[in-house]
Structure 1
Amino acid sequence: MSFSPAPASDPRRPEPIPLTVLTGFLGAGKTTLLNRLLRDPALADTVVIVNEFGEIGLDHLLIEAVDEDMILLGAGCLCCTVRGDLIATLEDLLRKRDNRRIGPFRRVVIETTGLADPAPILHALIYHPYLVLRFRLQAVVTVVDAVTGADTLDAHPEAVRQAAIADQIVLAKTDLAGDTAGIRARLAALNPVAPIVAPDAPADALLGGLFGLDGKGADVRRWLGDAALSHPDHGADVNRHDASIQAICLTSAAPVPRAAFEMFMDLLRSGHGPKLLRLKGIVALADDPERPLVVHGVQHVFHAPLTLSCWPDPDHTSRLILILRDLDPAFVQRLWDAFLGRPRIDAPDAAALSHNPLAIPGF
């Protein structure tokens, strides 16, 4: 992957359209949340992509059919169904938008089926050479049922993955659950960088990410969630699925040499991609430290990096957040330190490792 400098926006092509993935296990409350969000004026000019119209119960919002695959909602949003390939559906939407057969929607929300592993959907959004130019992933929002969530996490590994890769976790049905301390601790241990929010959170705050609709950077610390990793809860009770998933924050106060960063990312992706559930970060490269690089990806597929025109906040520390499955965070830390040439108290041969990262024990 190339990390060559790129402008935050290219005047020769349309501004990328923000896209949010809404996921959660069967019965978690995605439909209820989606219905509420569609009443929010902030979601006007939004396209909602679902698997089948009949599955999400939007009948009271439907007002007219646009064509056999699209329905205009009373909230001013457009709803379309995936009858095969998500990529084909997104390409069709773009063609209709560019040809002015539908209005110039400002946002896309993809609602997944309850049994879906979100990773393949994110791969399609990140990896496709055309879609990556036209859409920008804002957030993965996962809905968890406060009543049955713990049992669901025990029984269904896909529910664990849905929570592990989330940018935000919506805890639904808390009024029916009574004490929610246990499920909150479980989710916080599973994904410490994702805030746990209520279903009535404002639509913009819930569906937004690092990139606002105006193209300006939002709160980087909120997007990364790195503050949570400073105070981990090691006492949380996790089951056999959860125990294999851990989070780590890699940092560098000094700008990172471009060659070292590219080699680290390539080595991590090629050698351990399937174990990298989620990666997101902001990095100061040594050859252009005032224009930080934003990176994020899922498993071995990384989004095309974006170079911001300036730092969105006063903190210019490079930060990479990684959600790992069956991969020792200490090993990843050693790999990062080796590429940055950092000496380690417990590794007297760190200087040699900085020149030969493949010599790191366990790699």
Structure 2
Amino acid sequence: MQPAAEKGLIPVTILTGFLGAGKTTLLNRILTEQHGEKIAVIENEFGESGVDNDILVQDKEEQIIEMNNGCLCCTVRGDLVRILKDLRRKKRGGEVKFDRVIIETTGLANPGPVAQTFFMDEDVHKDYLLDAIITVVDAKHGQQTLDEHDEARAQVGFADRILLSKTDLVAEDETKALMDRLRSMNPRAHQKKVHFGEAPISEILDIRGFNLNAILEVSPEFLTSDHHEHDDDVKSFVWKDPRPLNMEKIETFLSLMVQNYGENLLRYKGVLNVKDEPKKMIFQGVHMLMGGTPGKPWEEGETRESVMVFIGKGIPRKLFEEGLAYCVA
């Protein structure tokens, strides 16, 4: 179980999305806009799908390049953990100044291993706070990309926020169909249309999607819509139950499920109504890593209800639902 995030940590945003989705356009805007933020951007590829060459000077020996607006850009030629520790050391020593980090993954990357870095390495976990995973989806080619590429589906499954680019190039009904599909794959990710990367910084940073005490948001449309058009391997389901749960049973059951299906569980999160517990119990996980902590007290008159969201590949929904029902006190 991971402890709740403490103050003083450096927030990190993971920016992902398939090749050509518009990650670089968004990143270039962040790197050049006068937003007053000191951001260290970790780029893990250069060239056509990396940051534009007219912005970055490609010096093979240079690892950290400072932008004219105070942002930093780092090239990753090795382990992400080493880069993060190096940045932290230079920040402490006054060599570089930054307040937060954005990591841009390659278009073909599954963001899961990057996210796990912030929980598995003790030094990284001690210094950094994983804020959120932002996924950019190309409205023009999104359906085809999701049909053909596992990585694109995984990127959607991991997302805390989905930015839809190029919506001006397709009809409104096509965009709606894509948004419905994305919602069926990941009902907890807020969706927003963006034009040429023009997304307010406030909608990309400090989302706290990985904060255990953050509110669990599930799209209301997900619970009322029918989603049968696409047989995606990345699927999601929401489990709700007003009956109080037995804490020991729920811990045992979830541990067993993570042990057996963790590799296929992309994201899972819940607010639990535990018997004789005045506070909400919050839990979430990525693959095999699961964390839990007491949240805010249940307010007087508030409906006590457990709400859990599971997003994964080929997860046995019936088994999960039957097991969770067994955990009722």
TM-score band, normalised by shorter chain: 0.7 to 0.9
CA contact (8 A) 2:243 2:328 kept: no
Report sequence identity in percent: 34
> For structure 1, which runs of at least 5 residues remain unmatched after alignment?
342-363
| Partner of residue 68, structure 2 | 74
| Partner of residue 322, structure 1 | 310
Q: Output the amino acid matched with 1:127.
A: M
The structural deviation recorded for 1:53 is 4.5
| Partner of residue 186, structure 2 | 191
CA offset digits 1:93-151 (Å, max 9, x no partner): 11212222222x22211100011111111122222222222222221111111111111
Name the CA distance, whole Å, in 2 between partners of 1:322 and 1:149. 23
Query: What SS does structure 2 have at the residue aligned with 1:130?
Result: helix
Query: What SS does structure 2 have at the residue aligned with 1:280?
Result: strand
| Partner of residue 181, structure 1 | 176
Question: In the superposition, relative to structure 1, how do residues 174 and 323 fare at CA in structure 2: closer, same or farther (>3 Å)?
Answer: same
Q: How many residues align?
A: 321
Name the CA distance, whole Å, in 1 between partners of 2:106 and 2:81. 16
| Partner of residue 347, structure 1 | none
The structural deviation recorded for 1:217 is 6.4
CA contact (8 A) 1:72 1:79 kept: yes
CA offset digits 1:271-305 (Å, max 9, x no partner): 11122121123345557533x44433222123x54
CA contact (8 A) 1:142 1:163 kept: yes
Name the CA distance, whole Å, in 1 between partners of 2:149 and 2:14. 20
Name the CA distance, whole Å, in 2 between partners of 1:254 and 1:99. 53
CA contact (8 A) 2:247 2:274 kept: yes
Is 202-211 or 269-278 further displaced after alignment?
202-211
Question: In the superposition, relative to structure 1, how do residues 140 and 316 fare at CA in structure 2: closer, same or farther (>3 Å)?
Answer: farther
Name the CA distance, whole Å, in 1 between partners of 2:242 and 2:65. 50
CA contact (8 A) 1:140 1:166 kept: yes
The structural deviation recorded for 1:64 is 12
The answer to whether the aligner puts 1:170 opposite 2:163 as a matched pair is: yes
> For structure 2, which runs of at least 5 residues remain unmatched after alignment?
none
CA contact (8 A) 1:226 1:249 kept: no
| Aligned pairs (5 A) from 1:257-296 | 257-283=246-272, 289-290=278-279, 292-296=280-284
The structural deviation recorded for 1:261 is 3.1
Query: What SS does structure 1 have at the residue aligned with 2:156?
Result: helix
The answer to whether the aligner puts 1:30 opposite 2:33 as a matched pair is: no
Higher relative contact order (CA 8 A, sep 6+): 2
CA offset digits 1:170-216 (Å, max 9, x no partner): 1111112234233223222222322221223322223332379xx99
Query: What SS does structure 2 have at the residue aligned with 1:196?
Result: strand
| Aligned pairs (5 A) from 1:47-196 | 47-54=40-47, 55-61=49-55, 68-103=62-97, 105-179=98-172, 180-196=175-191
The answer to whether the aligner puts 1:335 opposite 2:329 as a matched pair is: no
| Partner of residue 358, structure 1 | none
* Cα-Cα RMSD: 3.2
Name the CA distance, whole Å, in 2 between partners of 1:39 and 1:317. 45
Name the CA distance, whole Å, in 1 between partners of 2:276 and 2:95. 45
Name the CA distance, whole Å, in 2 between partners of 1:16 and 1:256. 33
Query: What SS does structure 2 have at the residue aligned with 1:80?
Result: strand
| Partner of residue 246, structure 1 | 235
Name the CA distance, whole Å, in 1 between partners of 2:67 and 2:222. 41
The structural deviation recorded for 1:262 is 2.1
The structural deviation recorded for 1:84 is 1.2
Query: What SS does structure 2 have at the residue aligned with 1:35?
Result: helix
Name the CA distance, whole Å, in 2 between partners of 1:82 and 1:63. 15
Name the CA distance, whole Å, in 1 between partners of 2:113 and 2:293. 22
